[in-house]
Structure 1
């Protein structure tokens, strides 16, 4: 392995110019990239070319990216990690120490650190780890870069960052270097002072923590620790320490109270005095380390941070606020007085509405207010109480408006609701309800989807806090009912609201009352208003009402029976409507008060099994009718509520109408075939008659008519020329078991793999016999965007023994040429009219006329086959005109819903030239690929 990492001179190195592409491919998907090679080979090539002086330094920096981002993939074992670090350290030592090479040396240093830490090889006795740690410390101490104008300053910064990472992963490693680190921090006068300060802060925190874990701590140990300047504490790497998460003082390991802390207090004070010179992020990190240091030393008072509080309270930096809240959570009243807490809370309220802050920052401040410890004390059961410090007067400035974004509005509404609930202000509740009604009006006037979602979430928050206020909850039911009367498509939102509030408010009758109001609204609607589009939403609501024990279901059943008898729904046989009605019936079959609607429900199911045109709906209605009239209520509920977690014996008992009837249980189950039973084979287009495209005379032209306008008027009907119909043979997938030689009631189901097409309808086939001709099925596609796609297909069928089976078919590819349609013009149009339309379309699709249009030019060798044969074999259905001398052709490809590809093809000596224009530039790759495919195929056939 070492030889492979160091490079085999006999192996040809990869082209250095190809490394950017290789690194990009690896970073995009390491698993896909390594499927064509191995991590060992890739790493070997990488290290070999990193040693090559011919490779530029910028390329080498790029090549180190995979080691920095995915070290464990390229170095899966500690041994490989050690060997890789040795190789990288050798490259680092051979790299010239010049300002030009600083960037490469920085990345090499970072890569070695990453490899050693990721492979857990920072250990005593590992030469590369010991040598590299010495190198890092020497680099951090080398302040001679001032002579070079600070050109080597980035190298020292990276060395500090690498040491800090080593110390973080191996706490205590630098605990014997505190004096040297402090001296470096004090001497540095450049911006690198921040890197040294952070490094010292982490080392100090970890050193104090290691000291707290010792069994016996003497009085001078802390002073000795601060003044130590020895080697690295390799014992810390043998059993890495896990620093405790500082949550409460009782969980923090502390030093004995008799330990002298005068020197430590001086160090912490000096660090705090210099803290304001650092950037906000560095300040926050240092304050976090010092907070943990002070919390571990009992004799060090938290009041040492007092001088920093005023500055921290006035900051707008989120990172510093984090540090302030951490001190608040750690020291509580040991540092913060009641006045401090009140001031901080007011500060948070002010920042939550600051106009210069971004929305995420404002939301963070609101979240801090909401969970401020003294504002919402934790009760005995671990839940937060209502806000104590945030009064309605203090939070008045946070009142939401309809102009707020959704997140801000809801967060403000939540905190105000809690404040008004605690204060028990009826007037404040009225203000919030008025805000809800303002949102209601926006939604009622066709508000956006986001506003609709916001309104229902706001209703949920209102109910969560004020569900006991009957005045407003009753008005809210009326408002929601009126909203549904105008917008039936809000049925899913209302159902979701009912489910959520019912789960939240187990003892409240409000969700049921809302469902009753919606039920009354629906059943009283006249038949003329029950249009096909809205009926599905009404049935969803009634299906949800049918689950409520406290709601009477008689009006629902009578409504459904009256609807089916006095309308044409049964005659139309719409499967979706029938299935929605059956869904309501299924819920009614499980209702505790089924006895009250037994006769009406039986009449409804019997009417559907005799009158509904869809056979599947008839079968389901007959099955439900059989269950209703033959099973007890307990067994009926068991059959319909059968769960997946029950034992097999229990399933058998509940899924059978008669006791111990395994045969019927099997017949009610859809079984899955082990192998595919069916397949779809696309029909060829051989034998289709070719139209005559000979040149037309001048009498065919119609110059006085705007053909383009007449043609485009056809598309005023959105259904005109919008679908592609593909025909397939449904046949058996090879040799299948004799059980499947006779199939009945086959239902083919298709699922799209993208959003470029409208949902593909299921296809039903009555029967398929093994030794007879295959059935021809038509697949209707309605594209939104005419791009190639793949359909997943499956089938459910019944065998001769009455069992139902499910089988998966092979995926169905839909190629680009499958979407071509001939020019959709009236059949009475003459040849001259078609040519004239072609010219007008070509002119209208020029790029200067439309930003979406595009042109392209394609050339190919004709070969031994004539151009006419190529055209006739591939474009005969789409040919608009042809000329024999000189030989040229005009082809128009129409792609639903309304896209065009126009081709002018002419023969020029030994090559053919294809001029292409289209109204959708995104189609050009598919067009060029298709023409290249058919021309390559024609050339291959001549050889």
Structure 2
């Protein structure tokens, strides 16, 4: 009876207020106090506000009331489960883009924290219901406010819900909203939230928070459309290859056994090695291990001096940091690419409706949603993970221009940057786990969704993988101080150079890998190449492409030039040119020396003067150490002279030499 009397008084007041042009401060405060005390009055007040907002003459009165509720009601509400009764008012506040959303977002964040703290065995359904209503208010804000006004506070609210809210459905929906807020600009985001109106031609509840009241997407089976997708959807490398390898070396085992040859496998289980040795020792027949060569004499007993002992210690420490990919995750090689697509052919082929003529900026461009890129290869790259791109805008027509001044104040799409073109390119990182350092080709397939609900599945042009993609820095033991890293790399280069140069240095020594099960041995190969290129060009190319792998710079002239440029840093500097060769004392005569220069004398020319004018002094040496996953190495010693450079190459994976010649020519002679 008391409530009916209060309802009657309230309706009488409302009828009189409709004829008044302004609200008194006292009456507005009275409405706030009544809602705080009697939550059952909230639907009546909401209905009255809807009538004011629906009237063109009194629309401003409804907005004024909502502003009052935002300023006076939100700070006074009590944080308990009854707060949900005020959500109809909160929905109206969220719909009004003239009211800053900061107060409401702070209140909703506190309420979500309250729901998480009070959650228990008896509150499961209540937590789901009220958490869903909070997300419904968030959706209303996304529909009526620019993303830039909401981003900071709303992203914190959604991130908290993703991590800590007890209900799985609420967490998933919050994660979807958060991804949309981060990746999709405002107009496109509002179109996505209103998809059911475009598809079904009906008007759902304006305060629904469900994602699943739209029709199922349609998969396209038009082969003509799918065949030409690669002509306007492009996946491209960020850094082009120096050498685009059109072939790769593949050696057959000629049917001898089922195991891979040693130069491919490179890793053996320590238990298997011990059992093989026991079998050989206990057999009366002569047996040859797979790693032995036919006719190779038995290795004599070696006397290990301090130098060899130091080399083996350095190598054991290094190999103990290399993971055995058979028993644990191996080393990854990353290839950075970008994905883009052209707007005009995309609209023409997939029938995306042209936007209204009054729209500007990114709203006029098509978009691809929930794109998945899948990769495969016949090369030994292991399992390649797919890459997901939530949202991507199409590139504007070449004769058109998307003006930055006309763009709405929304969050810029994926990978915004200072360059205008960066807004229409999505970064893609392809991670490979090579079983062998070899070039190859990645096959790329795409699955994406257009704005009109069509699912597109097609093949894109492949991505070439070059030998330079396999170049990694050697792993540093975790206990090595930062200031000691240059010395460690220099010592490691010297140890590997010795091990790959003379078999007697390490013999049949094996080195345990990280994980304790696998062991590896070094079987070195060496080569040499003369580059007729000026020293300045060679130094510039080395600094541009190989700076991360330089471990030592030797020789005073070369050290001065490289130090002054400032590109190569944190390496071992040696001014004494006599130290240029790590194995100068043991190298064969003439092989490890500098390049040979022949001088010709014209008739009547003084030989002594000509020698002075044409002599070319050695400036110094670069020592370059490159790690090739899963466990191999490539070493360069560049003996730099004025007009030519001698490159000595050593490696423990001889098949890679098939690609190095083309790489060096493209690097220094192109």
Please tell me the TM-score bracket, short chain as reference. Answer: 0.3 to 0.5
TM-score between both structures, scaled by the size of structure 1: 0.26
Larger fraction in strand: 2
Q: Relative CO higher for 1 or 2, CA cutoff 8 Å, sep ≥ 6?
A: 2
TM-score between both structures, scaled by the size of structure 2: 0.37
Larger fraction in helix: 1
Larger Rg: 1
